[in-house]
Amino acid sequence: MKATISMESLWQTIQSLSPKNKKWLADKLIEDLQTEEESIGKEEILAGIDAGLKEVKQTREGKLEEKTAREFLYELQDIG
């Protein structure tokens, strides 16, 4: 079952909450925003894969110097 509520009704409901419940709601909304900001999007993943494949191609063509496994791991640590 879906419920529909106008933004005005929602605002009135929020304003009627106790300070403790308003704080709880604010914390949940901020937590949700932080989670959204932390997650990586599909486009970012695809762009990273594309960049990696281009780097492999350039390395095979001799345009880039090959990296050792250690250099690769250090690069991963710097990104994360």
Greatest distance between any 2 Cα atoms in the chain: 67
Strand boundaries in 1-80, DSSP class E:
none
Closest CA to 55 of 77, 72, 42, 43: 72
One-letter amino acid at 27 equals D
At residue 72, the pLDDT reads 80
Predicted confidence (pLDDT) per residue in 5-63, tens digit: 788 888 899 999 999 999 999 999 888 887 766 667 788 888 989 998 898 899 889 99
Question: Given this model, what pLDDT does residue 56 score?
Answer: 87
Residue ranges per structural domain of the chain: 9-38, 42-79
pTM of the model: 0.43
Among 18, 70, 79, 25, smallest CA distance to 51 is for: 79
Residue 58 CB partners (closer than 8 Å, separation 6+): 64
